Structure 1
Amino acid sequence: MIQTTNVSPTLDGLFQRNLARQPNAPALLDPINKARISGRPPLRMTFAQADRAISALAAHFVESGLPINSVIGLQLPNTIEFMLTVLAAHRAGLIVALLPQLWRQAELTAALNRTGARAIVTMSKIDGVSHADLAMNAAAEAFSIRHVCGFGEDLPEGMASLDLALKSGRSSERVVVQDGRKAALVSFDVTADGLRAVPRTHLNLIAGGLAVFLESRIPQGARLMSAFAPSSFAGLTSSLLLWLLSGGTLALHHPFDSEALERQINDCACDTLVTPGPMALRLTDADMGSRVPTLRHVIGLWRMPEQVASSAQWTAEQARFTDVYLFGEVGLFGARRTADGVPVPIMPGPHGAPRDVPGTSIAGETLLTSKGTLALRGPMVTVAAYAPPTPPSDALMAPPPPPDYADTGYAARLDRSSGAICITAPPSGIVSVGGYRFLSQDLQEWAKRLGQGALLTALPDRLCGYRLAGRAQDNARGRDALNQLGLNPLMAEAFRDRTIIG
């Protein structure tokens, strides 16, 4: 068995605390439509069963020769395997790099090379796409990769099966110091300077989870339903961390099937739902009380935080609504709506969690920069990851001290009457389609590869921020060309044929 020594709180330490208190309580529940997503039957695990699975996966990573502090990339759906693998990597002393599901070979290769990842974990198929083949192709171009493994059937030759590792029940004698100050996670952001790797410690992650957990007043032993992709800092903290902090049950929904979501909420008697903000507000379009009677807390995550102030009123009296403002991978903050369902003003300066309880610990701080943009600082923000580049060493002037905050790039101003922060626009030059961000100039560069007359542009969309639309002389050939280049399918599908029915 892997031996751990606790120095300060870690994710595995939080799990071990829950395990000791209630080993036979339900811990993790798969999406009810998992067979459609991955071809695998849904699983249900107690804390004791999850612990054995985590130990077996951790032993596999150790026996594969991955040294402590190695980076391991994860591209998995929102299923039990994702949560188990994150905790197993930490138990083995590894650092997890989150790889969004829509990333294809070009983005995967760039991220793996940027972090020097030694291994990659994936699923054989996700939503009909062979992610096992994607991982093998990306690993061939990432010189640091030494181990490729996956869940599921029909894995390519050379890919290790993690299902066999789970069945073996092995454990390892590696000694791992569980130190919350050590790196635990790397996520990826897109800024004006391009792709940026953002590392975080266990303590950074716990701080992010606490900010949401305390602001939304989730009870201990909560039955959580997460319908938000976990392949980002916000996605992980609003699912894995909320579960570990509450010590309850985490049910997972692979976004997005509204009928399956409601059925699973009722089957699991979930009291807390985590979902994108625009989707959450749609729950009140019909009789929410009769459809999902057990819900008491709804957490809406806003990838477009500039939309919160103008969003619809939350009218469901049975549940309280909490807005969580997301700023790429920089950080987040939450604000529980008033009893009448209206968003609360966001004031500049330090804020606790909960916001309306004086004397609480500082969860973070919001401020305006001299450029008229919103900046964040606090225990979850890794300022160094967003620091401006160091000037050349031959510069005659001494460089200014680095800022103690991270600039989100979101345009903001202060309301003259209330003094509250008004977020007015997303970062310039960056296109956000759901949870995926691109440089607008990159869209044009890829369109040029399709020949003369090709166009790829971003159109405003209330639900997703932007949607992509493309035009080429032959749309079908354009889609094939972008797929062969290993690009995100959002770009390829922008060139789908559109038939106008008169």
Structure 2
Amino acid sequence: MTAAAPHPSPTLDGLFRRVLGRQPEALALVDPADKMRITATPPKQLTFAEADRAISALTAHFIGSGLPANSVIAVQLPNTVEFVLTVLAAHRAGLIVALLPQLFRQAELTMALNRTGARGLVTSSKIDGVSHADLIMNAAADAFSIRYVGGFGNDLPEGMAALDDVMACEFEPAIAVLQDARRAAIISFDVTADGFRAVPRTHLNLISGGLAVFLEAGLPQGAIILSALTPSSFASMASSLVTWLLSGGVLSLHHPFDNEVLERDINAQACDVLVVPAPLAERLAASGLLDRTPTLRHVLGLWRAPEQVATSAAWSSPQTTLTDIYLFGEAGLFGARRGADGLPVAIMPGSHGAPRAVANSSIAGEILITPKGTLGLRGPMVPVLAYAASAEPSRSLVASKPVDHVDTGFAARLDRATGAILITAPPSGVMAVGGYRFLAQDLTEWAKRLGQNAMLTALPDRLSGYRLAGRASDNARARDALTELGLNPLMVEAFRDRAAAD
């Protein structure tokens, strides 16, 4: 008797197809209610069948445009249904998706494209009034590997494929591309003490991260999830897109942040799960907004500055549970659901998995203290090789022990009384404003270009980790100079006029 072929490991598109087969006419994706303001295009609501047709149309277009399997397509899109459709279509076409943060401007875009050897680019005509289509076209001109550029929205530049038309027109289904869950699915971008870094992850890495969040939070099947995260990182993918596919429910999207629209969307969609940055979740709970959303039961709070969790206030929304999601750049994450007292749960070293896991169940990962006094991560979601690649080769003739974990750089120690891990400080020399990380030395270098009296610094901020502030003899001139250099808008807006801001 011939042995049965092993069942293939799931991919993101495979998870989508499983839900599609069970409930094709069920609602799948919901756009932000204020999408017209964000991209100048009307909001959409798609069933799984409608989403599948759009994904198939985009898949046929990508393959027909000559993008070869296993090549990289870079994506810079807002938190709208087009992002989800593009990612799943790219995977169905056998492509690897590079996630470009919206805050990346020409200098960073060019670096990311050249680092990954991207063959294609997809963006939106405008996002919040900024012409991202023009930014992408300028970056593509500086990246010799780019052979294809597509965009959603109106008034696209010449040479950019109109993807709204692609989804609306008839198409010939493409020949199926064999998807391998062990191959890279996405590439995200991180900054460590060694500098800018591209971090590839397989489908299995992604699904492992999503499972860690899904199981720790105790999310229900068929959940209606509202995600208010910019889709540009491993954490945003794992906690929203992957948890949606695992639950088989609805993914409702919110463009950060408008509290009135957020409250209206939660109630209109009867959402039971909210995914937001943790400091914002604390503010929403304190303001009483969460108590005005009767269907909401679960809040996933993402901590980009996990050293702040221990000093956070007790969770104050009685009808919802908060799951703290600890983020360590693009290296990995873990979650801990708060108990009845609303206080953060002690994080113990060793393996972690689903709460009250049965014996011999699989683990989500392992947390350790490195000999350097920093926090290390290992497990099925952690891309160890991506972080070990820049390490200098050993000069010793004796082979060293292979690295099996990622050193996150976050200072940590064990509490003598409880044995719990205490995360005490972020990585040295690395600043984070929200999800945007950069080297502290870069601030000084950019300020030097603006003259002797210019200053650019990072100040601690509870909501975003740090905020940028600048000073120059002529702030307007400094803003123009930084914009011309292709710098991130956070750098530019550090030189806003204080009187005008007030």
TM-score band, normalised by shorter chain: over 0.9
> Are 1:457 and 2:457 an aligned pair?
yes
Aligned to 1:11: 12
> Are 1:109 and 2:149 an aligned pair?
no
> Once the two structures are superposed, what CA deviation does each residue of 1:83-136 show, in whole Å capped at 9, x if it has no partner?
000000000000000000011000000000000000000000000000000000
The answer (yes or no) to whether the contact 2:77–2:231 under 8 Å persists in 1 is no
Alignment of 1:29-48 (within 5 A): 29-48=30-49
Alignment of 1:317-332 (within 5 A): 317-332=318-333
> Once the two structures are superposed, what CA deviation does each residue of 1:29-81 show, in whole Å capped at 9, x if it has no partner?
00000000110100000000000000000111001000000100000000000
Alignment partners' CA distance in 2, 1:7 and 1:136: 38
Aligned to 1:487: 487
282-291 vs 471-480, which deviates more?
Answer: 282-291
Alignment partners' CA distance in 1, 2:279 and 2:300: 11
Alignment partners' CA distance in 1, 2:239 and 2:31: 17
Describe the shift of the 1:428–1:7 C-alpha distance in structure 2 as closer, same or farther (beyond 3 A).
same
Aligned length: 497
Superposition misfits of 4+ residues, deviation over 6 angstroms: none
Shift of 1:443: 1.0
Alignment partners' CA distance in 1, 2:205 and 2:231: 16
> Are 1:444 and 2:444 an aligned pair?
yes
SS in 2 for 1:245: helix
The answer (yes or no) to whether the contact 1:7–1:177 under 8 Å persists in 2 is no
The answer (yes or no) to whether the contact 1:132–1:150 under 8 Å persists in 2 is yes
Aligned to 1:408: 408
Structure 2 regions of 5+ residues with no counterpart?
Answer: 1-5
Structure 1 regions of 5+ residues with no counterpart?
Answer: none
> Are 1:176 and 2:177 an aligned pair?
yes
Aligned to 1:145: 146
Equivalent AA in structure 1 for residue 409 of structure 2: G
> Are 1:294 and 2:300 an aligned pair?
no
Describe the shift of the 1:448–1:286 C-alpha distance in structure 2 as closer, same or farther (beyond 3 A).
closer
Alignment of 1:11-160 (within 5 A): 11-160=12-161
Aligned to 1:342: 343
Describe the shift of the 1:390–1:253 C-alpha distance in structure 2 as closer, same or farther (beyond 3 A).
closer
The answer (yes or no) to whether the contact 1:8–1:178 under 8 Å persists in 2 is no
Describe the shift of the 1:309–1:52 C-alpha distance in structure 2 as closer, same or farther (beyond 3 A).
same
SS in 1 for 2:498: coil
Aligned to 2:212: 211
SS in 2 for 1:339: coil
The answer (yes or no) to whether the contact 2:327–2:334 under 8 Å persists in 1 is yes
The answer (yes or no) to whether the contact 1:354–1:360 under 8 Å persists in 2 is no
Equivalent AA in structure 2 for residue 454 of structure 1: A
315-324 vs 347-356, which deviates more?
Answer: 347-356
> Once the two structures are superposed, what CA deviation does each residue of 1:281-318 show, in whole Å capped at 9, x if it has no partner?
12221334651111011110000000111101112221
Alignment partners' CA distance in 1, 2:494 and 2:7: 49
Describe the shift of the 1:28–1:473 C-alpha distance in structure 2 as closer, same or farther (beyond 3 A).
same
Shift of 1:421: 0.1
Shift of 1:447: 0.8
The answer (yes or no) to whether the contact 1:315–1:340 under 8 Å persists in 2 is no
Alignment of 1:221-260 (within 5 A): 221-260=222-261
The answer (yes or no) to whether the contact 1:454–1:471 under 8 Å persists in 2 is yes
Shift of 1:367: 0.2
Equivalent AA in structure 2 for residue 156 of structure 1: P
Equivalent AA in structure 2 for residue 447 of structure 1: A
Shift of 1:175: 3.1
SS in 2 for 1:179: coil
Describe the shift of the 1:396–1:178 C-alpha distance in structure 2 as closer, same or farther (beyond 3 A).
closer
Aligned to 1:367: 368
Equivalent AA in structure 1 for residue 43 of structure 2: P
Q: Percent same amino acid at aligned positions?
A: 70
Equivalent AA in structure 1 for residue 233 of structure 2: S
Aligned to 2:3: none
Shift of 1:359: 4.8
Alignment partners' CA distance in 2, 1:501 and 1:315: 32
The answer (yes or no) to whether the contact 1:78–1:254 under 8 Å persists in 2 is yes
Shift of 1:177: 1.1
The answer (yes or no) to whether the contact 2:92–2:176 under 8 Å persists in 1 is no
> What is the TM-score when the length of structure 2 is the normalising length?
0.96
SS in 2 for 1:37: helix
Alignment partners' CA distance in 1, 2:36 and 2:490: 24
SS in 1 for 2:98: strand
308-317 vs 403-412, which deviates more?
Answer: 308-317
> Once the two structures are superposed, what CA deviation does each residue of 1:390-426 show, in whole Å capped at 9, x if it has no partner?
5458x45335233100000000000000000000000
> What is the TM-score when the length of structure 1 is the normalising length?
0.96
> Once the two structures are superposed, what CA deviation does each residue of 1:176-233 show, in whole Å capped at 9, x if it has no partner?
1122111101000000111101100000000000000000010000000001111100
